[in-house]
Amino acid sequence: MIDVINLQKSFGDKEILKGINVTINKGDIVAVLGPSGSGKSTFLRCLNCMEDPTGGSIIFNGVDIADMKVDINQHRRHMGMVFQHFNLYNNKTVLQNVMMAPAYLRCKDIDKAKKKNRMIKFKNMFRGSDKKEELIPITETKEQIKKEVKEQAMALLKRIGLEDKADVYPSTLSGGQKQRVAIIRSMAMNPDVILFDEPTSALDPEMVGEVLELMKDLAKEGMTMVVVTHEMGFAREVASRVLFIDDGQIKEEAAPAEFFEHPKDPRLQEFLSKIL
């Protein structure tokens, strides 16, 4: 699904990612570990086009998204992202937070199709009856889309037991509730993959469990996930592979049992000895 080839990123003359190579297949749960400042967030931000790589390629579903010409909005519909600090819109209700992106993008699709159809109709006026171009079928109205997106958002809220919070603002939620809303918000786009950047690091300890549970459920359903985390339990139990990023490079990549029982890289051995 994602092929990262020699990915490099510098800020000014500071080289942060020094040639990352990794393949992420459909259904993979990839845990990313590494010391603070090693480039883990920068790596995820490059995957999600929030940073422009300085070198290398990221082939996602066959398209190089490191190429400046790709449509970022089209790309992001297929790749969800969950942040350490939730990044919910505080001036929107919980329901609006979940609905906003899919409603906006699907309505925009209709506008685009209508515009295209106007052009096609115009061109068709000058074409012979055997050469007329077909119009793009538009089967839904914006009202129907909004209704559908709202139903899906409510179903997702129900799934995490927060349907009664649909009309409140995020500031009234606990950290664990905010993060679970952020996760279903990314699911509402039906993405191919969800990237998580330390999703439990900003939570009070008693709220970490509920967020990890939701992530485990997602993993069981076959969602492809890349998870930067310090939760060793999650990496061990849920991940299909674990990566160790240090100094802008992947220093080790292995299945969890191998990764934790027989670390080969000296820096990983040192890292694990400090946290386990």
Question: Which residues contact ligand ADP (rule: CB under 6 A)?
Answer: 11, 16, 34, 36-42
Token pair 């990839």 is at which residue? 30
CB of 36 to ligand ADP, least distance (A): 4
* Of residues 15 and 140, the one with the C-beta less far from ligand ADP: 15
Among 57, 12, 20, 5, CA closest to 248: 20
- Binding partner of residue 37 among ligand ADP, Mg ion, none, CB cut-off 5 to 8 Å per kind: ligand ADP
* Of residues 84 and 240, the one with the C-beta less far from ligand ADP: 84
The C-alpha atoms of residue 177 and residue 179 are separated, in whole angstroms, by 5
* Of residues 117 and 249, the one with the C-beta less far from ligand ADP: 249
Q: 267 burial class (0-12, 13-18, 19+ CB within 10 angstroms)?
A: middle
Token pair 């139990």 is at which residue? 237
CB of 51 to ligand ADP, least distance (A): 7
- Binding partner of residue 171 among ligand ADP, Mg ion, none, CB cut-off 5 to 8 Å per kind: none
One residue of 28, 31, 41, 214 binding Mg ion per CB under 5 A? 41
CA separation (Å) from 186 to 55, 116, 162, 189?
Answer: 28, 29, 16, 6
* Of residues 9 and 77, the one with the C-beta less far from Mg ion: 9
CB of 55 to ligand ADP, least distance (A): 16
* Of residues 11 and 104, the one with the C-beta less far from ligand ADP: 11
The C-alpha atoms of residue 91 and residue 23 are separated, in whole angstroms, by 38
Site for Mg ion in 196-255 (CB under 5 A): none
Number of other residues whose CB lies within 10 A of the CB of residue 125: 7
Chain-centre distance for alpha carbon 248:
21
Q: Could you list the residues that contact Mg ion (CB under 5 A)?
A: 41
